[in-house]
Amino acid sequence: MTARTDAAPNAATPRLPMVGLLRALLLTEAAAGLALAVFLSLVADVVGDRSGIADETNVRFAAGGAFLFALFAAIASRGTRRRRGWAWTMAAILQVLLAIGTGIAIMVAEWHPAYLLGFGLASAVMLVLSVASVRRALGQG
């Protein structure tokens, strides 16, 4: 039987704390996205009863987007663990989508300080992605 070539980094691969921080931030985004998807699904039932089917559909669409974001954040975290080059690109694209989604939420819904969490997480991940050791570890530098 032959050894797998896509196995996790071995003991000779140095551990980088910033890559671990990036993974933790991506997993935090995945958990928050999943929680948001569940919350929006619950809200959609209430909105559908009060406002009608069109508003319920819009909220369910947003819940689906939050679920997909959570899924891709988890995938990017896994790619970061395996030090895949595509993980850097996927994480950067997810942060742009998070900032755009938060901006849309601010324009559509009533202002709430929780919206700052979306911008804060996106900013934190982009700062970690721009660190030289992370870029080198993920094949970007």
pLDDT in tens, 22-58: 999 999 999 999 999 999 999 998 887 777 788 889 8
- Quick one: CA dihedral 109, 113, 118, 122, positive or negative? positive
Instruction: For the chain, give the mean pLDDT.
Output: 89
Within 8 A by CB and 6+ apart from 9, the residues are 82, 83
Q: Are 49 and 114 in contact (CB under 8 A)?
A: no
End-to-end CA distance of the chain: 35
Q: Above pLDDT 70, what percent of the chain?
A: 91
What does the pLDDT look like over 101-129, one tens digit per residue?
Answer: 999 989 988 888 989 999 999 999 999 99
19: pLDDT confidence band, cut at 50, 70 and 90?
very high
